[in-house]
Amino acid sequence: MVHRRFPRKSSIRRANSILEGAIGSSLKKGIFMAEVTLKWKNVVGQKMANYTMPFSFEEGVLHVSASSPGAAHQINMMGGRIASKIEKLWGVEIKSVKARVGKVRKISSYRPRRHSAPIEVPQKVLEEKRKMFAGKIGRKDAEEALSRLSAIYEIRFGKKEKSNS
pLDDT higher for 31 or 111?
31
pLDDT higher for 17 or 145?
145
HEC secondary structure over 40-92:
HHHHHCHHHHCCEEEEEEECCEEEEEECCHHHHHHHHHCHHHHHHHHHHHHCC
Domains of the chain and any CATH numbers: 22-101 (3.30.300.180), 123-157 (no CATH)
Kindly tell me if the per-residue pLDDT of 6 is higher than 60: no
Kindly tell me if the per-residue pLDDT of 110 is higher than 80: no
- How much is the mean pLDDT over the chain? 83
Kindly tell me if the per-residue pLDDT of 87 is higher than 80: yes
Kindly tell me if the per-residue pLDDT of 73 is higher than 90: yes
